[in-house]
Amino acid sequence: MPGIITSILFLPMLGGLLLLFAREDARKGSGSVRAFALAVSLATFALSAVMYLGFRADYAGMQFVEEAAWIPRFGIAYKVGVDGISLLLVMLTTILTPVAILFSFEDVRKKTRLYYMSLLFLETGMLGVFFALDFFLFYVFWEGMLIPMYLIIGVWGGSRRIYAAVKFFLYTMAGSVLMLVAIIWLYFASGVGTFDILAHFREPVDAALQPWLFAAFAISFAIKVPIFPFHTWLPDAHVEAPTAGSVILAGVLLKMGTYGFMRLAMPLFPTAAREFAFLIICLALVGIIYGALMAMVQTDVKKLVAYSSVSHLGFVMLGLFSFNLLGASGSVIQMVNHGISSGALFLIVGFIYSRRHTREIEEFGGLLRVMPVFSTFFIITALSSIGLPGLNGFVGEFTILLGAFERNAWFAVFAATGVVLSAVYMLWMLQRVLFGEVSVRANLGLADMNRREWLVMLPMVALMFWIGLYPKPLFERIEPSAKVWLSQVNRRVLRVEKAPERKLRKSALAYAQRVEVK
């Protein structure tokens, strides 16, 4: 299927550009802009589904690779491809975008044209990050998608939207410029003479340089994930963003950080990754527990969900830095799972917010009596987030825990605390919002889910059950690539351990460093 990736990648952008010639949706309940945007995003999903079906599960390398010269002087090319790791994240993106657009039909009333343009541009940006096989291309998408996200938070967000948007932008930007320095440095230091990511995998990086470069990449990705203590932008951005923005932010954007660790930082600098592994695992464990504790004390449902993201992404980091197959494939699954369940939770928060214009837990209670269908969806989603067996969350967290246990039992013990805590804050929240008597009069007349809301939630719930009950096809696609990844991160570059000898290393062992030993 030649050109399939390029079509998937640029179809949303093309749709966004065509919207320039459209007229604003003025009235409630009708509009061609949003219908067009939905059609474009569904067509993108259809194309990506074609790609999914054509993906060869038995092949570990990059598939559907396309390459074209872009800036030959610097060895920069337009090179895209997909493997088992990025495939699922691409699918996640193409599924969540139409869902987010469909949700926005009633939610967004002002400046609709700019809004849907931003969402479609954002989709291209996110897909580009997952598809890119060239550092420069990767960076262009990585930074380029900040702008539409910034607009989505800043124009259609809540009352403190400008503060949240600027904070989001500056945090992410501060991290990513350091990555830019590291990319250029790597380009000159490696002598490969190209920005092709795959070519850099083949060329081991000088062990003395690795910690610096790894740190620069890692800070950039750690801010995006976010790993404790770089998480402070996240609650603000999530709470202030419009619902669709939160869905995309939690569902896909955060995964770009973990994906960056997996695709770039760890396989490029394996030695440094192992040196930093303990630190990062500790931070991940702190994040798991801290995120859960913070979620527990929130009075705002949306903020609760936001902090739960900090906790859940800690699991992904834990899995990655376990350096084993279970951890790695569990992490990929967990990235997808978190995208689905936290996306769905934000949608649910969006449903009650559009009815009551508040998200305070105290304002609710006994919703089960008033909105039974809604409550059912809410319970399923919350259980999926907790990790109930049979639903998707369990598959990822359990695999990661196995991987962590294999590395060090204590890691698994601490992480398991996080699972318990997540049950505490989720179930407690469910109890206060759904069960009991209807405590606030305003909730008595609330309408249950309408047809559009059904349509929004159905694919999410279907995915939760599918991944929860039958994750085999996903694992089959992940594992070959995860094995390749594992061999990359486990390779060792010979180095001298003792401190006094460090000075000699550069001259005497300069050649030896290039030699790989298993």
- List residues near another protein by CB under 8 A: 69-74, 111, 114, 136, 139-141, 143-144, 146-147, 150-151, 154-155, 161-162, 165-166, 169-170, 173-174, 177-178, 180-181, 184-185, 187-188
3 state SS of 272 = helix
Strand partners, 517: 492
Minimum CB distance to another protein smaller for 156 or for 261: 156
Minimum CB distance to another protein smaller for 206 or for 406: 206
Residue 232 Cβ, how far from another protein at the closest point, in Å? 16
3-class DSSP string for 37-86: HHHHHHHHHHHHHHHHHHCCCCCCCCEEEEEEEEEHHHCEEEEEEECHHH
Residue 304 Cβ, how far from another protein at the closest point, in Å? 27
Residue 241 Cβ, how far from another protein at the closest point, in Å? 13
Please state the separation of Cα 165 from the chain's center in Å: 18
Minimum CB distance to another protein smaller for 161 or for 312: 161
Residue (of 401, 403, 402, 406) closest to 416 by Cα position: 401
Minimum CB distance to another protein smaller for 124 or for 381: 124
Convert 18-36 to b/e letters by CB count within 10 Å (16 or more is b): ebeebeebeeeeebebbeb
Please state the separation of Cα 398 from the chain's center in Å: 19
Cα separation, 404 vs 277, whole angstroms: 12
* 193: region left, alpha or beta (phi > 0 left; psi from -120 to 50 alpha): left
Residue 289 Cβ, how far from another protein at the closest point, in Å? 31
Cα separation, 256 vs 263, whole angstroms: 10
Minimum CB distance to another protein smaller for 155 or for 482: 155
Contact in structure between 100 and 248 (CB atoms under 8 Å): yes
Q: What is the CA radius of gyration of the chain?
A: 23
Residue 305 Cβ, how far from another protein at the closest point, in Å? 24
Residue 433 Cβ, how far from another protein at the closest point, in Å? 32
Minimum CB distance to another protein smaller for 260 or for 327: 260
Give the chain's length. Answer: 518
Minimum CB distance to another protein smaller for 170 or for 447: 170
Minimum CB distance to another protein smaller for 31 or for 75: 75
Cα separation, 312 vs 341, whole angstroms: 11
Residue 193 Cβ, how far from another protein at the closest point, in Å? 12
Residue 322 Cβ, how far from another protein at the closest point, in Å? 32
What residue spans of 225-253 are helical by DSSP H? 233-240, 243-248
Minimum CB distance to another protein smaller for 43 or for 184: 184
Residue 184 Cβ, how far from another protein at the closest point, in Å? 5
Dihedral sign (CA 167, 171, 177, 183): negative
